[in-house]
Amino acid sequence: MLIAPSILTADFTRLGAEVEAAFEAGIRWLHLDVMDGRFVPNISFGPLVVRALRPLAERFGAVLDAHLMMVEPERYLEEFVAAGCQYVTVHVEVSPHLHRTLQAIRALGARPGAALNPATPLSALEEILPELDLALVMSVNPGFGGQTFIPSCLDKVARLRRLLDARGLDRVALQVDGGVNPATIGSLRDAGATVAVVGSAFFTPQRSPAASVAALQAALSAPR
């Protein structure tokens, strides 16, 4: 299972150093939570931050994954891909022409993803699965870091895993975002998730990125 730290909870006064420490600890997937203050009740950052992190990611061969929590994401696709994002994920709740948006992401040379909020049924994603390289299940209501994992989302992850397997779509990354920590990551892996987005349980004053990686890997290795 890939661990994808979210920079949302990092110390932005020393963001480059924190991200570099994560890469030095073995991280090769960085999650970028982009919020517009409209789709979610918060504002985070834009393509300039992505562009600033790109040289670090290229030096370590790491993936930059943009999770666009915004209305009208299609207006900004080109900017985020040009800034260095290899994956771009949009929400089904704000994409009435989702197929067209996913095609636009792929045409720009990036890998398209689609995200579901906790209350959005899995059926909203079912028809578009073959067009995806990434399916994201939100396990908290998006907008803020440090929230508690919603247990019912575990079943949604398991059902999506079965759906992907039944259709021969094992190439699609199954990502989970929200409340992921050493206590929840093992259950998510067992349910079939392949990429775990970790925010406040990764970038924290209480431990270094290397210690966070060790804690998460220990949880994944523990007998169940």
Q: What are phi and psi of 201, to 5 degrees?
A: -85, 0
Whether 133 is a known active-site residue: answer: no
The answer to whether 156 touches 190, Cβ cutoff 8 Å, is: no
Strand 87-91 to strand 111-116: parallel, antiparallel, or no bridges (unpaired)? parallel
Residue 165 makes CB contacts below 8 A (sequence gap 6+) with 192
DSSP readout, 33-86?
A: EEEBSSSSS-B---HHHHHHHHHHHHHHT-EEEEEEESSSGGGTHHHHHHHT-S
Instruction: Out of 33, 36, 65, 133, pick the active-site residue.
Output: 33
Tokens linked to 73: 């994401």
Query: What whole-number distance in Å separates Cα of residue 183 and Cα of residue 174?
Result: 19
The answer to whether 139 touches 178, Cβ cutoff 8 Å, is: yes
Instruction: Out of 36, 65, 133, 177, pick the active-site residue.
Output: 177
The answer to whether 95 touches 127, Cβ cutoff 8 Å, is: no
Whether 177 is a known active-site residue: answer: yes
Q: CA dihedral defined by 48, 23, 111, 119, rounded to 10 degrees?
A: -90
Which active-site residues does the annotation give?
Answer: 33, 177
